Chain A
Amino acid sequence: MSALTIRNLRKTYANGVEALKGIDLTVEKGDFFALLGPNGAGKSTTIGIVSSLVNKTSGEVSILGYDLDRQRALAKQKIGVVPQEFNFGQFEKVFDIVVTQAGFYGIPARIARERAEKYLRQLGLWDKRKNQARTLSGGMKRRLMIARALVHEPDLLILDEPTAGVDIELRRSMWDFLIGLNNEGRTIILTTHYLEEAESLCRHIAIIDHGQIVENTDMKSLLEKLQVETFILDLARPVTEAPRLPGFQVRLRDAATLEVEVPKTENLNRLFVELAELDLRVMSMRNKANRLEELFVRLVEQNLPGQAAPAEEVAS
């Protein structure tokens, strides 16, 4: 059984904006799934419809076999949502927010208090339980929303930009926490702008753009589609124009920095030989972006009709 099945989902807002143009998506039970896309692509609308915060125009959604139209209460019982924006009462106490959320799911107070303690401890917020939510830092507020989403122990957890604005150390600890939840059998769907996060955590990925799914596959297959990798080379001396290197696309970023696209069929040794023949010494080298980021940009650019070529000097 799938954790989430979406069929021909469409959403047109009252102002005429067509946010979703008939998307299909299946997330298997136990998966760690990334939903990526640029701003305004339709990610939040999709999550909004799945979590019953946005009315769909047409299409079908089912969560762990429960149809969202016909078995809405059962479907909602199975899902926990961590939204992008803080959406709790800022003047309420941390402990009360989690216990109250459990109450909305019909969980009796005693069990609600036990679970609130369990998740607040796991997320390092137990010491802050008596504080008003508005006094927490941004990272703590995000963790509070995770604790709140888990209090009814859902099988499917959806996180919309869970680590936005969170420092690196805390982000890593949140990754560990999410991996732990996934290892317990929970299905996790996340949207993120940190593509390194998606590459590290997720086994499957869908890319949405202009309200359409432009890619939906497992992470390994997706990364294998990357035919070209781009490197930034810092040169020992400045050059006046981009050198011509057969088999490579070279751009001049500035006088002493080259951007080189290396096809998968080529090897880096030949690149360095070619550069050495032109008496160009490389002082340092780095990837332009991580692999998923590069692929993401290419897929999204492909989906843009009439995309202009970069206005940089190109030599090949």
Chain B
Amino acid sequence: MSAYQQWVAFCTIVVKEIRRFTRIWPQTLLPPAITMSLYFVIFGNLVGRRIGDMGGFDYMQYIVPGLIMMSVIQNSYGNVVSSFFSTKFQHSIEEMLVSPMPNYVILTGFVVGGMARGMAVGLIVSVLSLFFTDLTMQHAWITVSVVVMTSALFSLGGFLNATFARNFDDISIIPNFVLTPLTYLGGVFYSLDLLPDFWRAVTLINPIVYMVNAFRYGVLGVSDVNVYASLGAILVFVLVFYSLALWLLNRGTGIRG
């Protein structure tokens, strides 16, 4: 395939993915908007008033970047894991496998589709947060870089999960039992300074801590961890996950007999 044909094929997958999640918007775009609005009202407004400052900001301002990041993570992952597994389940993945499209185009198309949903939900949550607090952007390029790389990383995570999944239970185990706990314990609702030394050290093993803090640095200008090391680590993870996913796709793991 020529570069132009590959570009057409890539755009076809991305458009298909965007069409899918916008067609079922009550399942994909609406729930995170409602859930995050509840977080803003309950944790930000009602509970947050009693907590006071956190990291030098009022509590609502402090949690907004984390909640945006949580939305991006969950939706990037959720989009690719459900979409790719559905194509396997319905065998419509065969439409792509019989075509001359290279595997990296298939992988990149799914990942960009997941990023599109993650960032669309992130944008919706950001706009909603403006009804509850003022949102500034201290370091625009860091903010954008973190969102792009994090959504890419979790889209790849969703792709890997779907590759190995054999049934619908397999695509809900990791989001429910790994992703959600890691996100809640990833510094979305509190500063790591509040933790005793031991638990702070344990928390630093959690990769989501670095993504949330890097994003918070981009928005508020404060972070519990080194932002540039975080960006580097996310980038390395993206490259490792992409290489692994492409290798599995080339082998035909989970999709070819």
Q: Which residues of A contact B (CB under 8 A)?
A: 13, 45, 48, 51-55, 72-74, 76-77, 79, 81, 83, 85-91, 96, 100-101, 103-109, 148, 152
Knowing A53-B256, A54-B256, the reply to whether A74 touches B8 (Cβ < 8 A) is: no
Assuming A55-B252, A55-B257, A104-B9, is B92 touching A77 (CB within 8 A)?
A: no
Asked whether, in the complex, the Cβ of B9 is within 8 Å of the Cβ of A105, the reply is: yes
Of the listed stretches B95-103, B124-132, B205-213, name the one at the interface; the rest are far from the partner chain.
Answer: B95-103
Q: Decide if A103 touches B257 in the complex (CB within 8 Å).
A: no
Q: For the complex formed, measure the closest distance between the CB of B178 and the CB atoms of chain A, giving whole angstroms.
A: 28
In the complex, whether B2 has a CB less than 8 A from a CB of chain A is: yes
Task: Report yes or no: A72 in contact with B100, Cβ–Cβ below 8 A.
Answer: yes
* Cα separation A87 to B5 with both chains bound (whole Å): 24
Contact B257 A48 (CB under 8 A): yes
CB of B4 within 8 Å of the partner chain: yes
Contact assessment for B8 and A87 in the assembled complex, using a CB-CB cutoff below 8 Å = no
Inter-chain CA distance A152–B99, complex, in Å, is 10
Contacts of B86 in A (CB 8 A): 89
Measured in the bound complex, the distance between the Cα atoms of B98 and A54 in whole Å is 10
* B94 is an interface residue with CB less than 8 A from chain A: yes
Kindly list chain B residues whose C-beta atoms are within 8 Å of the C-beta of A51: 98
Other-chain contact of B94, A77, A87, A108 (Cβ < 8 Å): A87
Secondary structure type dominating chain A contacts: loop
Question: Contact: A106 with B1, CB < 8 Å?
Answer: yes
A52/B257 contact (C-beta < 8 A), A100-B12, A106-B5 known:
no
Q: For A74, what are the chain B residues with a Cβ–Cβ distance below 8 Å?
A: 100
Measured CB to CB, the closest approach of chain A to B95, in angstroms, equals 6
**Separation of A90 and B87 alpha carbons in the complex (Å):** 10
Contact of A87 among B15, B16, B92, B101 (CB under 8 A): B92
Q: Given A73-B100, A83-B94, A88-B95, list of 14 further CB < 8 A pairs?
A: A13-B257, A53-B256, A55-B256, A55-B257, A72-B100, A81-B98, A87-B92, A90-B90, A104-B101, A105-B101, A106-B1, A106-B4, A106-B5, A106-B100
Secondary structure of the B contact surface, majority rule: helix
Report chain A residues within 8 Å CB of B12: 100, 103-104
Task: Assess whether B11 is interfacial by the CB under 8 Å rule.
Answer: yes
B98 adjacent to A76 (CB under 8 Å): yes
Q: Which residue of B lies closest to A152 (CB)?
A: B99
Q: How far is the CA of A96 from the CA of B5 in the complex (A)?
A: 18
- Residue B6 at the A interface, CB < 8 A? yes
- A88, B12: Cα distance in complex, Å: 15
Where the two chains meet, the residues of B that have a C-beta atom closer than 8 Å to any C-beta of A are 1-2, 4-6, 8-9, 11-13, 15-16, 19, 23, 86-87, 90-92, 94-102, 252, 256-257
Which of B5, B256, B257 has the most chain A CB within a 10 Å cutoff? B257
* B92 nearest CB neighbor, chain A only: A89
CB-CB < 8 A to A107: which residues of B?
5, 8
Closest Cβ of chain B: how far from A145's Cβ, in Å?
10
Q: Cβ of A85: which chain B residues have Cβ within 8 Å of it?
A: 91
Q: For the complex, what is the distance from the CA of A129 to the CA of B102, rounded to whole Å? A: 29
Contacts of B99 on A, CB cut-off 8 Å? Answer: 76, 101, 104-105, 152
CA distance A73 to B9 in the complex (A): 13
Contact B100 A88 (CB under 8 A): no
User: CA of A103 to CA of B5 in the docked complex: distance in angstroms?
Assistant: 8
**B19 surroundings in chain A (CB, below 8 A):** 96
Q: Are A103 and B98 in contact (CB under 8 A)?
A: no
Q: A53-B256, A73-B102 are in contact. Are A87 and B6 (CB under 8 A)?
A: no
Q: How far is the CA of A96 from the CA of B16 in the complex (A)?
A: 9
Given contacts A73-B1, A88-B90, A100-B16, is CB(A106)–CB(B6) below 8 Å? yes
Return 8 A-B CB contacts under 8 Å, by A number: A52-B98, A55-B256, A83-B94, A87-B94, A88-B90, A100-B16, A103-B9, A106-B4
A109 contacts which chain B residues (CB < 8 A)? 8
B248 shortest CB reach to chain A, Å = 13
Chain A proximity of B23: nearest CB distance (Å): 8
Chain B residues contacting A54 (CB-CB under 8 Å) are 256-257
Which of the residues B15, B16, B100, B252 comes within 8 Å of A77, measured between beta carbons? B100
Of the candidates A72, A79, A87, A108, the one whose C-beta lies within 8 Å of that of B95 is: A87
With A13-B257, A55-B257 known as contacts, the answer to whether A108 contacts B8 (CB < 8 A) is yes
Q: Cα distance A193–B96 when bound, in Å?
A: 28
With a cutoff of 8 Å between Cβ atoms, the chain B residues found around residue A86 in the complex are: 91
The minimal Cβ–Cβ distance linking B100 to chain A, given in whole angstroms, is 4
A108 — nearest CB in chain B belongs to which residue?
B8
Closest to A149 in B: B98
Tell me how far the C-beta of A10 lies from the nearest C-beta in chain B, rounded to whole angstroms.
14
Query: Could you tell me the distance between the alpha carbons of A52 and B101 in the complex, rounded to whole angstroms?
Result: 12
Chain B positions within 8 Å of A83 at CB level: 91, 94
Residues of A with C-beta under 8 A to B95: 87-88, 100-101, 104, 148
Residues of B near A148 (CB, < 8 A) are 95
Q: Please give, as numbers and ranges, the residues of chain A lying within 8 Å of B8 by CB-CB distance.
A: 103, 106-109
Residues of B close to A104: CB separation below 8 A: 9, 12-13, 95-96, 99, 101
